[in-house]
Structure 1
Amino acid sequence: MEIDELKAVAEGLLFASGDEGITIKQLYRILDVSESAALHIIEELKFDYESSDRGLMIMQSHDVLHLTTKPEHSSYFKKLLELPQTSRMSQAALETLAIIAYQQPITRTEIEDIRGVKSDRPVQTLLARSLIEETGRKDSVGRPILFGTSKDFLTYFGLTSLEELPPLPESDDSDDDSNEADLFFERFSDEIDKNLND
């Protein structure tokens, strides 16, 4: 792999590692290069980011690298935070929220078993919007985190308790589980849109 491609992959890894960041050791193991080569790649990326027409920089804290915004642009990020948040949620977030609402307490793995796809991002979105919260840990191997809906969830949907959630579609032997789930998610999505537009 050429240096430019390695730099591109390293940049993607820095972005994907988010707030946790990535260590030099993780980086050179994933890229399958020597430690000195990984350090060289990071130095080149740092140099690229130092250009005034780039909005990002690499911050290093001990051995952990983070991709972050430049401090000189902080006033613009403050304006962004002050803007009203868009109320639309992705279909993945809606599905995940619906599953948590009706199956809580539930682990991320259990959510993924129901959805059939990875659900890290939707769960993070819902946590960031305070619609769900960690409710404890399951007493099983690895003690995974359990998630449930929050008080904000009830407020958001104008509910006083979870008992007021719309009922799930009745199971019908002629319908398979996926059709039933599709109907439910569609109904739940309509409920969300109605609450948002009220």
Structure 2
Amino acid sequence: MEIDELKAIVEGLLFASGDEGMTLKQICKVLELPESAVQHIIEELKYDYERKDRGLMMMQSHEVLHLTTKPEHSSYFKKLLELPQASRMSQAALETLAIIAYQQPITRTEIEEIRGVKSDRPVQTLLSRALIEETGRKETVGRPILFRTSKDFLTYFGLTSLEELPPLPEATETEEDTKEADLFFERFSNEMDD
């Protein structure tokens, strides 16, 4: 593989790893390359990011590498945060919100077991929109955070209590139950689009 392709792969890996970032050893393992080769790729990427026409930079903290925005552009990111948030949520966020609504209180790990994929970003999105909230810690190993829907969730969807959520279809579901749940989630998705 050429160096440019390897740099692109490392850049993609760092982007995909999000806030967690990756260590040099993790990158070596994924690329199946020696540490010296990966260190060279990272140095080249850092050099590329130093150019003024690039909006990102690579940061290393406690041996973990992250992609981040450049501090000199911070005033623009501040303006972005001040803009009214688009109400559209990803399918992942909607799935996560539905899981929390029906299974609360629930931990992030339990959400991920149901969805079958990592759910850090959808949970962060829901927390930032105040649709869910932390509700303590589960009395188990590691004491993970428990999440539940917030009062804003009820208000947003015009519910007075969680009992008003349509019943989930069961194995012996009736056509009526299925339609009711489908209509709720269709409304749910449409309201998020508006």
Into which bin does the TM-score normalised by the smaller protein fall? 0.7 to 0.9
Gaps of 5+ in 1: none
CA-based RMSD of the aligned residues comes to 3.0
TM-score, normalized by length of structure 2? 0.80
Q: Deviations along 1:18-66, whole A, 9 cap, x unmatched?
A: 2222222222222222222121111100111112211111112232221
Does structure 2 retain, via aligned residues, the 8 Å contact 1:157–1:195? no
Aligned ranges 1:140-155 → 2 under 5 Å:
144-155=144-155
Match in the other structure for 2:85: 85
Gaps of 5+ in 2: none
One-letter amino acid of the structure 1 residue matched with residue 104 of structure 2: Q
TM-score, normalized by length of structure 1? 0.78
Match in the other structure for 1:70: 70
Q: How far apart are the structure 1 equivalents of 2:182 and 2:112? A: 15
Q: How far apart are the structure 2 equivalents of 1:97 and 1:146? A: 13
Q: 1:196 to 1:154 in 2, by over 3 A?
A: farther
Q: Secondary structure at the match of 2:172?
A: coil
Q: How far apart are the structure 2 equivalents of 1:154 and 1:101? A: 10
Match in the other structure for 1:28: 28
Q: How far apart are the structure 2 equivalents of 1:196 and 1:64? A: 36
Deviation of 1:191 (Å): 4.4
Larger displacement relative to structure 2 (44-53 or 149-158): 149-158
Q: Deviations along 1:93-152, whole A, 9 cap, x unmatched?
A: 22221221121112344434544x425142332123222233344445665543211233
Match in the other structure for 2:37: 37
Match in the other structure for 2:104: 104
Q: How far apart are the structure 1 equivalents of 2:58 and 2:64? A: 10
Q: How far apart are the structure 2 equivalents of 1:60 and 1:54? A: 18
Q: 1:92 to 1:64 in 2, by over 3 A?
A: closer
Q: 1:61 to 1:107 in 2, by over 3 A?
A: closer
Match in the other structure for 1:46: 46
Does structure 2 retain, via aligned residues, the 8 Å contact 1:95–1:185? no
Q: How far apart are the structure 2 equivalents of 1:48 and 1:196? A: 38
Q: Deviations along 1:62-89, whole A, 9 cap, x unmatched?
A: 3222111111211211111111001121
One-letter amino acid of the structure 2 residue matched with residue 130 of structure 1: A
